[in-house]
Amino acid sequence: MEIRRSSPDHEVVLTGTTKDGTLAIGAWPDTGYLLINIDHEVMKVIQPGDYVGDIVGNDAESIRRCILMTLSVVQGITRP
C-alpha cells in the first residue's frame, strides 16, 4: 500500500505491507477481511487532509492493483 497527497506526487506519505504486518488478510474470526494496522505514533505525524492511494497484490505469476482509494485523515475525533 502506498498513500500520497495526489496521484502525480512522488512522495509516499504512508506505506503498508504484509511483510511488516501493517497489512494482513484476516484469519479466523476475521476471515475474508483486509486488515490495515498503522501504528498510532505513525498516524500522529500524518497531516489532516485528503490523500490517494492503492494496494497492490502479487503472487508468483502476477501483480495486480486490488484497491484504488481516496483517504481523508481527520484528527481530533477519537482519542486513545
Spans of all domains in the chain: 2-73
Are residues 25 and 47 in contact, defined by beta-carbon separation less than 8 angstroms?
Answer: no
pTM attached to this predicted model: 0.82
| pLDDT band at 30; cut points 50, 70, 90 | confident
Range list of H helices, the chain: 40-44
pLDDT at 29 over 90: no
Of the candidates 43, 38, 52, which has an alpha carbon nearest to the alpha carbon of residue 4? 52
Phi then psi dihedrals of residue 41, to 5 deg: -65, -35
The residue assigned the cell 488478510 is 25
Beta bridge partners of 72: 50
The angle at the Cα of 65, spanning 28 to 67, to the nearest 5 degrees, equals 60
